Amino acid sequence: MSDPGRPNGGDPQSGDPRREGGVSTATRREVARPPRYKVILYNDDYTPMEFVVAVLEQIFNKGPSEATAIMLAVHKSGLGVAGVYVLDVAETKVAQVHGAAEQRGYPLRAGVEKE
């Protein structure tokens, strides 16, 4: 007899999405994990490095050394991940980056990409 108090009757081989090839079949009580989105920062030739570091600290809550490392990675490679969030938070962060950059007259751009 299956245990109604446990997903999939308590079968230890099922109920774990890591063992199901990512496809949910049985009725589940657990709420699905919402998809996550990367906020991408793009390099440009005009935005000052200190401004990008300040954006990473203030909008993406990075500490000074991580903010500097991300900024330098974007500067060298052309783009980089500022953070990973649910979609509405990611879109808000992008709007905050664009608002702060436009206020200062810098061309800094950001975008959202599904993880």
Residue 44 binds to ligand TYC (criterion: CB under 6 A) = yes
The residue among 70 and 85 lying less far from ligand TYC, judged by its C-beta, is 70
39/74 with CB nearer ligand TYC: 74
**How many whole angstroms separate alpha carbon 63 and alpha carbon 4?**
47
Q: Is 94 in the site for ligand TYC (CB under 6 A)?
A: no
Helix, strand, coil in percent for the chain, rounding step 5: 45, 15, 40
Provide the minimum distance between the beta carbon of 33 and ligand TYC in the complex, in angstroms, as a whole number.
29
39 touches 53 (CB < 8 A): no
Specify the residue, 37 or 52, whose C-beta has the smaller distance to ligand TYC: 52
